[in-house]
Structure 1
Amino acid sequence: MKYKKTVCAAAVALMSHAAWADSYLQQSLSEWPTMQSAVQQNGVSLYGAVDMGLNFQSVGGNARWQTQSGGVHTSQFGVFGREDLGGGLKAEFNLENSFTANNGAFGTSNTLFDRAAWVGLNSARWGALRFGLQPTANLPQFIDPFGEVTTNSVVTWLAGGAVQTARGVGYNADLGPGSSQVLVRESNAVSWTTPRVMGFGATFMYAFTNQAGVSPNASNQGVVASWTNGTLYLAGAYNRVWSPEVQTAAGLQTVRNDIYGVSAIYDVGSYVLSAAFSQVAPKLEGNGIARSYLLGATVPWGRHAVRASVVYRDTSGVHDAAGDPAKDSALGVMLGYDYSLSKRTSLYARAGFIRNYGISTVILNSNPLPLQTGSASPELGTTPMTASVGIYHLF
């Protein structure tokens, strides 16, 4: 499975709020490739990022060195366009691709634009309406000091519930059949983002399954609402996510997952603090519930910045392979350092781990856990670790 993040509508809200003129997040987001294109007034522009580094991974006595693309920013290129239609109305589109810089391969096989492929209308009075592949209505990625990147982020893997099983890796797979998570982005989606009034704003999304004979007709229904006064940023999200058909005691069926989240960011420029809580609750008798707690901090000075995040994931109502109630929790820590060579080029270092307790089998940075002897099931109680150094350039 692949876990990727992109800038959400909340980032645009922060960028447009004048009180953020002295904030670290406002300055940082203004340098992101997606944001550099999104703030333009008219025309078409190409943007992107190339991120490469060296990575060390270790789990269960197995260790390896490898090249790694996307240690801070997913290596990507995109095209953003905007046309002024008059009367405050603008047409917009965005096409965005991810790739691995170490070999040039597509981030998603046989898919040219796997990060964004949408077209829409934007009005200062009525908000923004978009159709196509786009970010979901969920908590903003910048609650994680590491931006919930595919690689060096325990938020991506632990809070996302990337659990290894005998059948592979699945979102919150330890909770039972049909358990899922809010995807980073949704295909076949329609969204509306309201104008921001007195600091308040919201995004509503409906994503179609586009599959005949499948009920319900939606794969995701979500809303995220936020408020900011410049220093403080608060957000809350609620999503209904339906799984593909899975085998249950009642036969083949889709499973609805109710996913809640709240977050807060406090940014005074000289430091940024963040906190978040989320819960995944599959609506199937016998399934468990997962809760995740996040604390994050970033301290910048001059060309330097240090970052840290701590994530704890706990569950209730889960069972082991024998069907007995079991402990299932994990703790993740990630530390980082950045040195800016310019506004567009930086060096970075990252190091972190996830400590699995009980029957927890969360992975980190796509590194599979060792298997139990003579079994396809992963070992329990493992601690995957990672460390990276690299460089990225934004254009």
Structure 2
Amino acid sequence: MKKSLLALTTISAFSGLAHAQSSVTLYGIVDDGFNWTSNAGGTHLYNVSSGVIQASRWGLRGGEDLGGGLKAVFVLENGFDLNSGSLGQKNRGSSQGLEFGRQAYVGLSSKFGTVTLGRQYDSVVDYVGQFEAGDQWGGYIAAHPGDLDNINNAYRVNNALKYASANYSGFTFGGVYSLGGIAGDYSRNQLWSVGAGYSNGPVMLAAAYLNARNPNVGFFADNGASTAATASTNFISSPVYSGYASAHTYQVIAAGGAYTFGRATVGATYSNTQFLNLGDTATSGPNPKAYTGNATFNNAEINFKYQLTPALLLGAAFDYTKGSDVTTRTGTSGGAKYYQGALGVDYFLSKRTDLYAIAVYQKASGTDSTGATAVAAINNLTPSTTDRQSTVRIGIRHKF
């Protein structure tokens, strides 16, 4: 009797495992095209580049039904350069790329939400990013100058614990916490963010908050290698805010929304980005201009898209960025202003393949974070040597 009961229990256990539902999906995007830039470091530039409207990538997404409404989930997502075959998401200041630099996480999902661990996106990206033109039809060149508020996802979060709620009648919320990993100082290099969104018919709204300690080494370095970033190096490339590498804290408050009527959608974003407690050269970064206090940027974008036909999308956007004055040991340094306009056309040959064109123009004025006369610096391009810069992109994208 005891042997029979043991056998029945064993068979039942294996039977439950055999009936567990699991799946793995391979997906990706390949994006390539031609570019013209009016002034890249002082010269006209004609080149071919990969991943502008969307970064080229491939990934594996999977899950397993564990029963009782519980499910195991994972994502491994690699970014790459289509023209050279090299890995994307390179460590700042290094030629080394990350194998799964876009996302890499595992976790559990239930009717109460999803908890995941790994390299992930912060709440500003998750909730507000969808309202920016760059995340829709404009690509990274239409992002805010230097992607200073990270709405376009220039930087990702390592060592992150993340919660995303279920959808409650259109309302969602979530948060991220990243451990700094510094022995004896739990707050050093740590990051946390929270966000919420609401969608009901033609109306969509969202807001989010991001706070990163020692951001130059803990966030902007984007370091996925075994060698830790150090405060002696500036890991920020954009002159829009590279002078603020010594900030002890980086903070973003962002909000966005959109309203759809017929074939048209009007959207907007606002962000307040602050580099707090400048001058932390011991644990954050260099401070050649001897800044103290805080530096603040206010950014506002309005965008419009129109589905002219089921296959043809038109887009337009205007973005304004204003930087504050910054205190130095001898006085103050005036802030910069950036005006940016973008136009886009996207024609879908099929559900998976489209041809697109994007044009972006930017004008700068004032004094930038480096203490020099501000130059135009379209996101992820070599900055201009003047206060103006234009770029045009013609590309093809295929999703699988």
Pairwise TM-score range, normalised by the shorter structure: 0.7 to 0.9
Aligned counterparts of 1:356 and 1:45: Cα–Cα separation in 2? 45
> Is the CA contact 2:188–2:213 (under 8 Å) kept in the aligned structure 1?
no
Q: Deviations over 1:350-381 (max 9, x none)?
A: 111111111234522533235xxxxxxxx5x5
Q: Deviations over 1:200-259 (max 9, x none)?
A: 110111011123244515521110011111211111111111123758xxxx98612232
Asked if 1:48 is matched to 2:28, the reply is: yes
Asked if 1:226 is matched to 2:197, the reply is: yes
> Please, which of 385, 392, 398 is the counterpart of residue 393 of structure 1?
398
Q: Which amino acid aligns with 1:210?
A: G
Q: Deviations over 1:44-63 (max 9, x none)?
A: 01100111100011227510
Name the SS of the counterpart of 1:306 in structure 2. strand
Asked if 1:292 is matched to 2:299, the reply is: yes
> Is the CA contact 1:297–1:309 (under 8 Å) kept in the aligned structure 2?
yes
Asked if 1:120 is matched to 2:125, the reply is: no
Name the SS of the counterpart of 1:106 in structure 2. coil
Name the SS of the counterpart of 2:382 in structure 1. coil
Distance 1:214 1:353, change over 3 A: farther
CA shift at 1:140, angstroms?
Answer: 3.1
1:283 aligns with 276
Name the SS of the counterpart of 1:146 in structure 2. helix
Distance 1:253 1:58, change over 3 A: closer
Aligned counterparts of 1:337 and 1:290: Cα–Cα separation in 2? 30
Aligned counterparts of 1:122 and 1:330: Cα–Cα separation in 2? 42
Aligned counterparts of 1:282 and 1:157: Cα–Cα separation in 2? 15
> Please, which of 381, 388, 395 is the counterpart of residue 367 of structure 1?
381
> Is the CA contact 1:158–1:332 (under 8 Å) kept in the aligned structure 2?
no
Q: Which amino acid aligns with 2:257?
A: A
Distance 1:253 1:62, change over 3 A: closer
Asked if 1:89 is matched to 2:77, the reply is: no
Distance 1:354 1:183, change over 3 A: same
Q: Which amino acid aligns with 2:377?
A: I
Aligned pairs for 1:99-248 within 5 A: 99-107=80-88, 108=90, 109-124=96-111, 126-138=112-124, 139-147=127-135, 152-160=140-148, 184-214=155-185, 216-217=187-188, 219-243=190-214, 244=217
1:316 aligns with 324
CA shift at 1:393, angstroms?
Answer: 0.5
Aligned counterparts of 1:309 and 1:150: Cα–Cα separation in 2? 9
Aligned counterparts of 2:22 and 2:62: Cα–Cα separation in 1? 7
The total of aligned residue pairs comes to 323
Aligned counterparts of 1:149 and 1:305: Cα–Cα separation in 2? 9
2:9 aligns with none
Aligned counterparts of 1:149 and 1:365: Cα–Cα separation in 2? 15
Uncovered stretches (5+) of structure 2, i.e. residues with no partner: 1-20, 91-95, 218-229, 233-244, 278-291, 368-373
Aligned counterparts of 2:186 and 2:100: Cα–Cα separation in 1? 28
Distance 1:233 1:258, change over 3 A: same
Name the SS of the counterpart of 2:351 in structure 1. coil
CA shift at 1:337, angstroms?
Answer: 0.2
Distance 1:289 1:363, change over 3 A: same
Aligned counterparts of 1:81 and 1:302: Cα–Cα separation in 2? 31
Q: Which amino acid aligns with 1:144?
A: E
> Is the CA contact 1:53–1:68 (under 8 Å) kept in the aligned structure 2?
yes
CA shift at 1:274, angstroms?
Answer: 0.7
Deviates more, 1:143-152 or 1:343-352: 143-152
Aligned counterparts of 1:321 and 1:292: Cα–Cα separation in 2? 27
Q: Provide the identity percentage.
A: 28
Aligned counterparts of 2:361 and 2:338: Cα–Cα separation in 1? 10
Asked if 1:352 is matched to 2:384, the reply is: no
CA shift at 1:143, angstroms?
Answer: 0.8
Name the SS of the counterpart of 1:343 in structure 2. coil
Name the SS of the counterpart of 1:193 in structure 2. strand
CA shift at 1:146, angstroms?
Answer: 3.2
> Is the CA contact 1:154–1:354 (under 8 Å) kept in the aligned structure 2?
no
Aligned counterparts of 1:201 and 1:182: Cα–Cα separation in 2? 20
Name the SS of the counterpart of 1:331 in structure 2. strand
Aligned counterparts of 2:389 and 2:328: Cα–Cα separation in 1? 21
Q: Which amino acid aligns with 2:180?
A: T
Distance 1:158 1:81, change over 3 A: same
CA shift at 1:318, angstroms?
Answer: 2.8
Larger radius of gyration: 2
Q: Which amino acid aligns with 1:367?
A: L
> Is the CA contact 1:318–1:328 (under 8 Å) kept in the aligned structure 2?
no
Name the SS of the counterpart of 1:142 in structure 2. helix
Aligned counterparts of 2:331 and 2:147: Cα–Cα separation in 1? 24
Name the SS of the counterpart of 1:261 in structure 2. strand
2:337 aligns with 329
Q: Which amino acid aligns with 2:360?
A: G
CA shift at 1:193, angstroms?
Answer: 0.9
Aligned counterparts of 2:297 and 2:180: Cα–Cα separation in 1? 25
Q: Which amino acid aligns with 2:34?
A: L
Aligned counterparts of 2:27 and 2:144: Cα–Cα separation in 1? 24
Deviates more, 1:274-283 or 1:95-104: 274-283
